[in-house]
Amino acid sequence: MDTSKILITRGDADYELLDSGDGEKLERFGKVVMRRPDPQSLWPKLLPEGEWDKADAYFLRGSDKAEWSFKQKLPERWEVAFGNLKFWIKPTAFKHVGLFPEQFTNWEWLKGVVQRTEAPEILNLFGYTGAATLACAKAGAKVVHIDGSKAAMNWARENAELSGLSDKPIRWIVEDARKFVERELKRGNLYDGIIMDPPAFGHGPENELWKIEEHFLPLIENCKKLLKPKPLFFLINGYSAGYSAIAYRNNLLSLQEKFGGQIEIGELTIEESKSGRLLPAGIFARWSGR
């Protein structure tokens, strides 16, 4: 029997969710307070608007443009420590800043699973700025990190260097996730665990189209064929595609039938530091075997 969970990330010295509501969230990354849209925050704010107006950076989204507005000149990027790792924070044109704190509970879970065996081989698809890769590498895994963006790949490698993990066995590969998996099948390479965080829509490095409603099922079926005879885990994350965690869970049932183990599904959340309210920040489904 699989279980449903609400996983909670709480703030620490370098990160804090200060408030949320009215379609926005107010966060602190290091000493910088940032105000960004968040469609999940469908409730009233608790802090007065004057506190929100003190934010150092504010992401503006209008009918014809979306851009950051800065109260004062900020560095192009700055360092934060979070989850026993270090990251470069940098405002991007898509409102993201390179760190997804809600994933902290998944990183901790990955560390525990990875440490069950010596030097397991892990594949991280749609790896973006590399937090899951770094968590696995720090726990002793060999990781293949795939992303279609060269800029994101450089960012991930810089995070690895910042975290003191440059010497870990990580292969950084800029490639379309579907193409890479198909080539791995032909090469006969197998993995102990697979991580994927598929976007709703995107493009590979050669403008390959990704649409989750068309390409997710073939990709996940191919990924299952890349698992070793006694695999450790399979983790799927989701944020923007609008699917339920149950939809992802149903794709993991065949692994449970074949290998046994346990499936967990649920929501990833961030706790407001003062009120304790939870901000929904994504879904997950994960299977673990031995």
What secondary structure, in 3-state letters, does the chain show? CCEEEEEEECCECCEEEEEEECCEEEEEECCEEEEEECCCCCCCCCCCHHHHCCCCEEEEECCCCEEEEECCCCCCCEEEEECCEEEEECCCCCCCCCCCHHHHHHHHHHHHHHCCCCCCEEEEECCCCCHHHHHHHHCCCEEEEEECCHHHHHHHHHHHHHCCCCCCCEEEEECCHHHHHHHHHHHCCCECEEEECCCCEEECCCCCEEEHHHHHHHHHHHHHHCECCCCCEEEEEECCCCCCHHHHHHHHHHHHHHHCCEEEEEEEEEEECCCCCEEEEEEEEEEECC
The 10s digit of each residue's pLDDT in 183-200 is 999 999 999 999 999 998
- Tell me whether residue 25 is in a domain: yes
CA atoms within 13 A on the CB side of 176: 17
What is the domain range of residue 144? Answer: 100-288
- Tell me whether residue 94 is in a domain: no
Average pLDDT, stretch 9-28? 97
The Cα–Cα gap between 181 and 204 comes to 13
pLDDT computed for residue 66 by the predictor: 86
As for how many domains the chain has, the answer is: 2
User: 228 and 123 in one domain?
Assistant: yes
pLDDT at residue 1 is higher than 60 = no
User: 137 and 63 in one domain?
Assistant: no
CA Rg, the chain, in Å? 19
User: 210 and 247 in one domain?
Assistant: yes
Where a domain ends, among 37, 66, 89?
Answer: 89
What's the mean per-residue pLDDT of the chain?
Answer: 95
What amino acid is encoded at 48 in this protein? P
The 10s digit of each residue's pLDDT in 29-73 is 999 999 999 999 999 999 999 999 999 999 988 767 889 999 989
User: Sign of the C-alpha dihedral, residues 216, 189, 228, 129?
Assistant: negative
User: 191 and 253 in one domain?
Assistant: yes
Whole-structure pTM value: 0.96
| CATH number, position 107 | 3.40.50.150
pLDDT computed for residue 196 by the predictor: 97
Average pLDDT, stretch 135-163? 98
Average pLDDT, stretch 139-164? 98
Where a domain ends, among 62, 89, 116?
Answer: 89
The Cα–Cα gap between 110 and 233 comes to 9
User: 140 and 26 in one domain?
Assistant: no
User: 247 and 165 in one domain?
Assistant: yes
- Tell me whether residue 127 is in a domain: yes
User: 264 and 185 in one domain?
Assistant: yes
